[in-house]
Amino acid sequence: MAELIKFSKRQTQVAAVKVERREQYLAFTLAGETFAMDIRAIREVIQFGGITDVPLMPPFIRGVINLRGAVVPVIDLSVRFGRAATAPAQRTCIVIIELEQGEDTLDLGVMVDNVSEVLSIGESEIEPAPAFGSGIRSEFIAGVAKVGDRFVILLDVNHVLSVEELSEIIG
Amino acid sequence: MDLDAARQTYIIEARELLEAMEEALLALEEAGDPTEPVNAMFRAVHTIKGSAGLFGLDGIVHFAHTVESVLDRVRGHQVALEGELIGLMLEAHDHLGGLIADLQADQPESPASRLQGEQILARLAPHLGGGLTKAAPQAPEAPEGAVREGWHLSIRFGRDVFRNGMDPLSFVRFLGTLGRITHLTSIFSSLPQREAFEPEDCHLGLEIELDTAASRAAIEDVFEFVREDSLIQLVPPNALVEDYLRLIRALPEEERFLGEILVAGGCLTAHELSQALAVQKQEARQEGARLLGTILIEDNAVPPPVVAAALDKQKKAAERQTQELRVIKVSADKLDRLVDLVGELVIAGATAHARAAAAQGGGGLLEATQTVNKLVEEIRDNALSLRMVQIGETFNRFRRIVRDVSKELGKAIELEIHGAETELDKTIVEKLSDPLMHIVRNAIDHGIEPVDVRQARGKPESGTLFLQASHEAGSIIIEVSDDGGGLNKDRILAKAIERGLVRADAELTDNEIINLIFEPGFSTADAVSNLSGRGVGMDVVRRNIDELRGTIEVETAPGQGTTMRMRLPLTLAIIDGFRVEVAGASYVAPLDVVIECLDLAPFLESEENHLINLRGEVLPFLRLREVFRIPGERPRRERVVVIQHGELRAGIVVDRLMGEFQTVIKPLGRLFRGARGLGGSTILGTGEVALILDVAQLVQLAAEGTAAPSRRALAAPTH
């Protein structure tokens, strides 16, 4: 992490002053690390529970849930990042994300340790994804933002949850 | 003005009519009485032309008019509809279809299409005999010997004509195609004071003199879309003064004013008018005690039989109208929404029932929920039946394809259809038409031999293709069979080895060899023909059928033919399920495949080979726990659900049997496309998601892997 921070600081100085546009991001934690996702893709956040296992699936598929009559798959983001499976605890949540895949949309649940806050982040505060150092595949990261004195990894939802790629792994 | 909605209706209607026309044409090719098919075609083209006129679609009117004229001569036995003319009519049909497609895509007709149209018209011209009349066909209802000219039309458009998306001008334009408009007066007298004026109201009236040979019905048809809320009066040529009088009486405007219009149009002389009005005044003073029909008869204006006939006709027309009303067109989206909602209702009903059963002392409540659920079940059946359509229409489409393709290949092929009235879900029918197309084309292209080969083999010259549909225990069976050469196993195997689909030393059963045709990239056609043989086909068929939760099997005998048998669920939405539990998780099997349930221990034949002995019948079984690699200990008392799929039976070993319930199938979605042994999911009364077993795959797994099911079954490719 230390390397990452140094790297990011250098980048901040390089970034020129742009017209400031602020977007909102939902911040959440996974094994103590803070991530954020563009809030426009997020439909709702629900409490973890009532999940049904789907047999013969790779470990990052936790199962399916009933979301008001619709059956929605749930992904364990931590496993997707090549880390240990998330152990359900009291504050474990499922973030429901609406993905646009070609012409249709697909609802997908993402299991996270807890959801902390909604961040408003300006374009100038976002730096490009570091090529190394985060331990997460770089195409999953849309950028890194400094919020207060913390660094938050902004996820590229379309890459992290690419249905093409996920179903290839499953099939 | 927004005509889009009306235009959309026109496009849908035209499509249906074109379908009817094609069906009629193909029916003509088979022997039988040609009268009805010809009439059907004539009606179809006539209506397409008529409605096109309303929208000012001159291209369609122009083209359809010639086609209609030729058909009219056919109807009048002046031209025989056979051989070349049938082909020409099919081309004309296709061209009309193209014009309608252009209309839907909202693009102008391409020059190429226009040229093609002109060519078809030119080829139709010799069949027109004495030449093209500008007018519509001579309607049979027109009285013999009557001088057919000089109709007088009084039209008062309804208030809502604009709101309904109609353009009064289009009617006038279309009238122009029936004949010549000699005089037209527009009437605005119903226009209100400025304060009360609503710009969207229509206050237009028209008085038209029309020279035409068209029948009353034809003229009335022009106003079909506005007939209901508009006042339309027709006075035939050479009408009596009384008729005009009656017209004047029926119209809302002041008499004198109307009279003047009639005089201006040349229907009446000024003298006749003043006479007529005088008579009318007189009658009005007599309190109008006599009905108009009576006046006419008593005055000897019309002989009684004519009136009786007219009344009879009116009654018949009314009856026809009510019959039409018995059929309502509903958009498929609305039906889908309804079925979705009923699905939710089924789940909610199950929840309520489960809660009532769990509640203490809820005897009355339980009874009530039972009643509710019974009703919900009925609603479900009714809702689903709304989406059921007969497969006949889909089958009939193949008549054309069989005809065209067999001509192209120089083969003689007859198509026989059985079970056209079999009903199944519209969604399934729609998704079935592509795979059926592939199979039929394959049968024509590869299956049925050319005439010389058939002769050499001592078969009838003409090959036969059968399309059959029937019901069997909650499924529908669709068969496509031919009496052709059958599948050549050696060639299939050789091809599969060449394509690297199987190893050269692989030992395969006959069935396994035949199923190789469903592998992606497989094609045995020596020459890639225009129709099939591009190596896409049977694998697509298999995938489409899989998506419908169906199966396909092949039966073939060398030299005798091939049968492709597809087994499909009746509906995709709701099933009766049988719930079982493994390690606390619920799984659902469709109830119609469950034969019986038993304890494993007393029936166990061989644990090692995974066989049970069911009263002398040895069946393979598999443990869901093992197939799905569910961790945990097996319970002491294991249960078996005996399931049957097609010819195959197998046992599925589970922990507990939970009983039957009704459930809505929710697809698992694209993410789980590769999921094995799972056909979908459903929501239980508790709100939990349960997975639905794909029985076909499980039975196959059980049959393949009797020695070590979990491993071999999972490794064996079925696609």
Which pLDDT score is estimated for B239? 67
Which pLDDT score is estimated for A4? 47
Q: What is the mean pLDDT of residues B21-41?
A: 78
Lowest model confidence (mean pLDDT) among B228-237, B504-513, B525-534: B525-534
Cα B268–chain centre separation: 52
3-state secondary structure of B629: coil
Which two structure tokens, joined as six digits, stand for A79? 């496993």
pLDDT of B341 > 90? The answer is no
| Contact call for residues B522 and B496 (beta carbons, < 8 A) | yes
Alpha-carbon distance of B708 to B106, in angstroms, equals 61
- Residue B33 identity (one-letter amino acid): D
- The percent of chain B in helix, strand and coil, each rounded to the nearest 5, is 50, 20, 30
The segment with the largest mean pLDDT, out of B64-68, B425-429, B466-470, B502-506, is B466-470
Look up the ipTM and state it.
0.81
Residue of chain B whose Cα is closest to the Cα of A161: B671
Contact state of A55 with B629 under an 8 Å Cβ cutoff: yes
- Chain B residues with beta carbon closer than 8 angstroms to that of A64: 668, 681, 689
The residues, ordered by sequence, that sit 6+ positions from B408 with a Cβ below 8 Å of its Cβ are B530, B531
Q: Would the CATH topology of B4-128 be identical to that of B389-569?
A: no
Alpha-carbon distance of B395 to B437, in angstroms, equals 10
The residues, ordered by sequence, that sit 6+ positions from A13 with a Cβ below 8 Å of its Cβ are none
pLDDT of B587 > 90? The answer is yes
Which two structure tokens, joined as six digits, stand for B12? 């849908």
The residues, ordered by sequence, that sit 6+ positions from B72 with a Cβ below 8 Å of its Cβ are B42, B137, B138
Cα B574–chain centre separation: 22
The segment with the largest mean pLDDT, out of A8-12, A76-80, B147-151, B257-261, is A76-80
Contact state of A106 with B670 under an 8 Å Cβ cutoff: yes
**Residue B111 burial (C-beta neighbours within 10 Å; 0-12, 13-18, 19+):** exposed
Which pLDDT score is estimated for B135? 40
Which pLDDT score is estimated for B18? 87
What residues in chain A have per-residue pLDDT under 70? 1-19, 131-134, 171
DSSP string over B133-181: -SSPPPPTTSPTT-----EEEEEE--TTTTTTT--HHHHHHHHHHHEEE
* Among B344, B671, B691, beta carbon nearest to A73: B671
Which pLDDT score is estimated for B527? 40
Domains in chain A: how many in total?
Answer: 1
Which pLDDT score is estimated for A64? 93
Residue of chain A whose Cα is closest to the Cα of B343: A69
Which pLDDT score is estimated for B306? 56
Q: Is B596 on the interface with A (CB under 8 A)?
A: no
Confidence of residue B695 (pLDDT cuts 50, 70, 90): confident
Q: Helix H segments across B388-506?
A: 392-409, 426-442, 451-456, 489-498
For domain B389-569, the CATH architecture is: 2-Layer Sandwich (3.30)
Lowest model confidence (mean pLDDT) among A61-75, B272-286, B616-630, B662-676: B272-286
Which two structure tokens, joined as six digits, stand for A8? 């990011």
Which pLDDT score is estimated for B717? 39
pLDDT of B146 > 50? The answer is no
Which pLDDT score is estimated for B177? 78
Nearest to B141 by CA among B227, B220, B210, B70: B220
Alpha-carbon distance of B574 to B417, in angstroms, equals 29
Alpha-carbon distance of B273 to B278, in angstroms, equals 9
Alpha-carbon distance of B343 to B682, in angstroms, equals 10
Phi-psi region of B215 (alpha: psi -120 to 50; beta: other; left: phi over 0): beta
Nearest to B38 by CA among B52, B29, B25: B25
> Can you point out the beta strands (E) in B228-357?
231-235
Q: How many CA atoms lie within 13 A of B337 on its CB side?
A: 5
Nearest to B452 by CA among B488, B496, B409: B409
- Chain B residues with beta carbon closer than 8 angstroms to that of A73: 668-669, 671-672
Percent of chain B with pLDDT over 70: 78
A99: phi then psi, degrees, rounded to nearest 5:
-105, 140
Which two structure tokens, joined as six digits, stand for B147? 């001088």
Which pLDDT score is estimated for A110? 94
| Contact call for residues A82 and A68 (beta carbons, < 8 A) | no
Contact state of B674 with A53 under an 8 Å Cβ cutoff: no
Residue of chain A whose Cα is closest to the Cα of B675: A171
Alpha-carbon distance of B310 to B281, in angstroms, equals 27
Contact state of A69 with B344 under an 8 Å Cβ cutoff: yes
B4-128 fold: Four Helix Bundle (Hemerythrin (Met), subunit A) (1.20.120)
Residue in A53, A57, A66 to test binding to B, most B beta-carbons within 10 Å = A66
Q: What's the mean per-residue pLDDT of chain B?
A: 77
Residue B356: CB atoms within 10 Å: 18
Confidence of residue B245 (pLDDT cuts 50, 70, 90): low
First to last CA, chain B: 55
- Chain B residues with beta carbon closer than 8 angstroms to that of A171: 673-674
Query: How many contacts (CB atoms, under 8 Å) link A and B?
Result: 76
3-state secondary structure of B121: helix
- Chain B residues with beta carbon closer than 8 angstroms to that of A69: 344, 347, 683
Lowest model confidence (mean pLDDT) among B40-49, B260-269, B498-507, B655-664: B260-269
Name all contacts of B290-299 with Cβ < 8 Å and 24+ positions apart.
B292/B246, B295/B242, B296/B242, B299/B242
* Among A52, A106, A163, beta carbon nearest to B585: A52
Q: Burial code of B132-166, b = ≥16 C-beta within 10 A, e = fewer? A: eeebbbebeebeeeeebebbbbbbbbbebbbeebb
3-state secondary structure of A136: coil
Alpha-carbon distance of A97 to A41, in angstroms, equals 6
More confident residue, B201 or B718: B201
Question: What residue ranges do the domains of chain B occupy?
Answer: 4-128, 151-289, 332-387, 389-569, 574-715
Q: What is the mean pLDDT of residues B17-42?
A: 79
Tell me how far CA of residue B375 lies from CA of A47, B351, B664, in angstroms: 35, 15, 16
Which pLDDT score is estimated for B637? 92
Lowest model confidence (mean pLDDT) among A71-85, A143-157, B435-449, B703-717: B703-717
A47: phi then psi, degrees, rounded to nearest 5:
-70, 145
DSSP conformational letter for B446: I
* Among A55, A66, A170, beta carbon nearest to B671: A170
Which residue segment(s) compose the domain that A17 sits in? 2-170
Strands A42-47 and A104-112: unpaired
Contact state of B669 with A170 under an 8 Å Cβ cutoff: no
| Contact call for residues A161 and A75 (beta carbons, < 8 A) | yes
- Chain B nearest-CA distance from A106, in A, is 9
| Contact call for residues B313 and B141 (beta carbons, < 8 A) | no
More confident residue, B193 or B613: B613
Which pLDDT score is estimated for B244? 66
A contact residues 17-56, partner B, Cβ 8 Å cutoff: 50, 52-56
Which pLDDT score is estimated for B294? 52
Which two structure tokens, joined as six digits, stand for B459? 């078969």
Alpha-carbon distance of B156 to B204, in angstroms, equals 6
**Residue A52 burial (C-beta neighbours within 10 Å; 0-12, 13-18, 19+):** buried
3-state secondary structure of B479: strand
Which two structure tokens, joined as six digits, stand for B217? 């019905």
Alpha-carbon distance of A41 to A5, in angstroms, equals 27
The domain that holds A45 is classified in CATH as 2.40.50.180
pLDDT of B545 > 80? The answer is yes
Alpha-carbon distance of B60 to B463, in angstroms, equals 39
Which pLDDT score is estimated for B298? 52
Confidence of residue B539 (pLDDT cuts 50, 70, 90): confident
More confident residue, A9 or B539: B539
Alpha-carbon distance of B188 to B642, in angstroms, equals 80
pLDDT of B281 > 80? The answer is no
Rg, Å, chain B Cα set: 34
Lowest model confidence (mean pLDDT) among A141-145, B208-212, B258-262: B258-262
More confident residue, B714 or B344: B344
pLDDT of B149 > 70? The answer is no
Q: Helix H segments across A15-83?
A: 77-80
Which pLDDT score is estimated for B290? 47
Nearest to A161 by CA among A111, A119, A120, A117: A111
> Mapped to the 3 state alphabet, what secondary structure does B21-61 carry?
HHHHHHHHHCCCCCHHHHHHHHHHHHHHHHHHHHCCCHHHH
Q: Is B303 on the interface with A (CB under 8 A)?
A: no
- Chain A nearest-CA distance from B666, in A, is 7
- Give B458-509 pLDDT, tens digit per residue: 888 888 999 999 887 667 899 999 988 888 888 888 888 887 778 887 788 8
- Residue B580 identity (one-letter amino acid): V
**Range B574-715 classified under CATH 2.30.30.40:** yes
Q: Using CA atoms in the order B370, B375, B378, B382, what is the torsion angle rounded to 10 degrees?
A: -150
- Residue B1 identity (one-letter amino acid): M
Confidence of residue B258 (pLDDT cuts 50, 70, 90): low
Q: Is A169 on the interface with B (CB under 8 A)?
A: no
Which two structure tokens, joined as six digits, stand for B424? 């199944």
DSSP conformational letter for B205: E
